[in-house]
Amino acid sequence: MSSSVSQPTPAPEGPLPTVSALVPADTTEDVRARGADMARQVAVLPVGSLEQHGPYLPLATDTLVACAIAREIAAAYPVHLLPPVTISCSHEHATWPGTVSISAVTLHAVVRDIAASLRRSGVEALVVVNGHGGNYVLGNVVQESTAEGHRMALFPAMEDWEAARERAGVETTLLSDMHAGEIETSILLHCHPELVRPGYESADLRADDRRHLLSLGMPAYTDSGVIGRPSLGSAAKGKELLAGFVESFGAYFSVVTSDGFPKVTSDGFPRGASDGFPRGASDGFSDASDGFSDGSEGAVASS
């Protein structure tokens, strides 16, 4: 009797890889000491998801990507690194096994509560590092919070993704590289090659016109769960992508630590911010892997 159930892609031999490095090892005294040297304390919160990323990338890909970016930021800037939010708004992937979501209302409340808790302990500013494109509500959280006078930012913006893409020589456009494509595969190949299973080399799929995505979800456009060109991914591109994000973060650090609501210059920095922290951290990021290759591997992923 034959079975129609598809067989899973074989996992790598040996013990299953872990991602314990996603949880910072700071003690309360570490945080106290770091804060003593900061005129205005800044925390970085990675927000990922738990959703399908095709047969070759893990469900936690977006969390891994957000954490990879956040860990590199923490290695280059004086910020407090928080553990990630690992489940968010993945409703467009709802029919795939393994995908888990919370409501936008819940995510909104969680981030607001985290920011309020940080302020009570003396951390004025929060930068949310988002690894999942479906977390639209995070933009509302930041807008509402800043309108109330709180210091908050959402990173990376589309311009930051584009700058990182160009720096790394990513061939796929941001429109085409929608899910489990060249960018996410590259970052994982750099940070967590042991988590990338065979199959990405032949999984390319293009579906640029996705105007009904919100109504119909991902199954309307892909059977595999992939939209993009993962075959073009490489560890070298992943390293350069992260370096690009770290360089872009300098403007955000300046914005959330500047006094008042400054005007922004053509290079993305608030006026008068140059004496607060260097613009970009590329000099301190000459070896991107050093940020999380100290035995505790970083993390990876985006849409």
Residue 269 reports pLDDT greater than 80: no
The Cα 113–Cα 214 span in angstroms is: 27
Examine residue 8 and state whether it is found in any structural domain, yes or no.
no
Is there a domain that residue 60 lies in?
A: yes
pTM of the full predicted structure?
Answer: 0.83
pLDDT of 8 > 90? The answer is no
Q: Is residue 133 part of a domain?
A: yes
- pLDDT of 53 > 90? The answer is yes
pLDDT number for residue 261: 59
d(CA 269, CA 282): 16
Helix 182-191 × helix 158-168 angle, to 10°: 70
| For residues 8-25, average pLDDT | 60
Answer yes or no: is 119 within a domain.
yes
* pLDDT confidence bin for 21, thresholds 50/70/90: low
Per the domain annotation, does 176 fall within a domain?
yes
| Of 126, 113, 119, the residue nearest 155 (C-alpha) | 126
- What pLDDT, on the 0 to 100 scale, is given for residue 12? 52
| Domain CATH code at residue 177 | 3.40.50.10310
Any domain includes 98? yes
Residues 140-144: what's their mean pLDDT?
98
pLDDT at 1 over 70: no
Q: Is the residue at 301 inside a domain?
A: no
Is 193 domain-assigned? yes
| Range of the structural domain that residue 174 is part of | 39-258+268-291
pLDDT of 275 reads 38
| Cβ-contact 121, 43 below 8 angstroms | no
The number of distinct structural domains making up the chain is 1
Tell me how many degrees the CA angle 48-151-25 measures, rounded to the nearest 5: 50
Question: Of all residues in the chain, what percent carry a pLDDT higher than 70?
Answer: 79
Q: Is the per-residue pLDDT at 38 higher than 60?
A: yes
